[in-house]
Amino acid sequence: MRPQKIGLCLIGFVLCILPSLLWAQGTCTITKRGELPIEEVGGRFVIAAKINHQPVMMLIDSGASHGALEPGLGEALMLSEQQNKTVNISGLGGKISTHPYVASLFEVGPVTQFNYDINLANIGTPETANNPKAPVGLIGVDTLSRHDLEFDFPNKVLRFYDVSHCSGRFIPWTGEYQDVHAFTMGRHLFIIPVGINGNVVHALVDTGSRQTSLSQSTVNKAHLSDDQKTGKTMQFYGSSGTTIAKQYKLDSFVVGRSKFSNVPVYVQPESYGQFDMLLGMDFMKWRKVWLSYKTEQVFMQFTPKEAH
């Protein structure tokens, strides 16, 4: 009978340690928390939110660290201004200092925030001045980063997920997609390496920018030459003002494993600080983009609009 007792002990030992192993390794779980329709307005994407139960259209801005409202809207929504607190905002056109307002309730999809500080900044553009769906504020990563986000731009849907014990290529997409190495700067701003004319530069994934653009210092870093200028210019609108950018054509542009040629980009006359360029909506609007704030990963998939 002794061999039988040893066998039972071995079986029992395996059964005992198996739950511990599963717990230690974890099982990747993805839980959908909600979805909202998004709309394209002037080359940027907006979503409906609520401030103190009042509906407002907000720009989805993965390049902004904090939420903001157009000047004057705080009073219109009867928000209280914090006169004893000053916030410095840096953006295109320089820096501004404002007093934030407090929203007793701020709601975006499954995200609910109480007594939420919200800054003031210029959001709209002249092209969307008369559009009733034009954004009057922006949603920054202080709100967006509470969930993993799947931006299905071609089909105009934003989905919110909670993920646990996940890593690698875990997202539930079919077909080929890219996992782009990323690192986060500051408060969940995603920076990814891209290739320009064979040179590696660092791009901020910026859903708040309608155009992909480079900083002036990147012209030298990426070895761009004057013969790549097209002579075209574009006015860019930022939270702190406006700038005029010059257009270049890139011989090669690489994101992940995808390579593009003859790509138009704009060069801003100022530095972007810790990154070299903004990867804007002119590139992302044709793709699904998953920003995994939980695992600090970025996934992209070129996706034609689905038939309905």
Exposed e or buried b per residue across 110-128, where buried means at least 16 C-beta atoms within 10 angstroms of its C-beta: ebebeebbbbbbbbbbeeb
14: pLDDT strictly greater than 60: no
pLDDT at 24: 43
| Per-residue pLDDT tens over the stretch 205-231 | 999 999 999 998 999 889 999 999 999
- Strand, helix or coil for residue 2: helix
List, for residues 109-137, the tens digit of each pLDDT value.
999 999 999 988 888 777 777 888 899 99
Mean pLDDT calculated for residue range 3-29: 49
pLDDT the model gives residue 95: 58
Q: Which residues pair with 161 in a beta bridge?
A: 32, 148
d(CA 182, CA 93): 27
- Indicate whether 62 pLDDT > 60: yes
Q: What is the rounded CA–CA span in Å between residue 66 and residue 29? A: 28
| 3-class secondary-structure state, position 124 | coil
Percent of the chain with pLDDT over 70: 83
For the cut 90, the answer to whether the pLDDT of residue 159 exceeds it is yes
pLDDT at 129: 74
More confident residue, 307 or 146: 146
Check whether 93 has a pLDDT greater than 70: no
Is the pLDDT at 72 greater than 90? The verdict is no
Whether the predicted pLDDT of 232 surpasses 70: yes
Percent of the chain with pLDDT over 90: 59
From the number of C-beta atoms within 10 Å of its C-beta (0-12, 13-18, 19+), residue 270 rates as middle
The model's pTM: 0.85
Average pLDDT of 249-256?
Answer: 93
Q: Is pLDDT at 5 greater than 70 in this prediction?
A: no
Q: What is the mean pLDDT of the chain?
A: 84
Query: How far apart are the C-alpha atoms of 96 and 130, rounded to whole Å?
Result: 26
Tell me what pLDDT residue 257 has.
86
H/E element, 24:
helix 2-25
pLDDT at 202 > cutoff 90: yes
Instruction: Evaluate if residue 8 carries a pLDDT over 50.
Output: no
pLDDT confidence of residue 130: 80
Q: Which tops the pLDDT comparison, 73 or 98? A: 73
**Does residue 218 sit in helix, strand or coil?**
helix
238 vs 33: which has the higher pLDDT: 33
pLDDT average, residue stretch 94-98: 60
Per-residue H/E/C for 107-119: EECCEEEEEEEEE
Return the higher-pLDDT residue of 304 and 308.
304
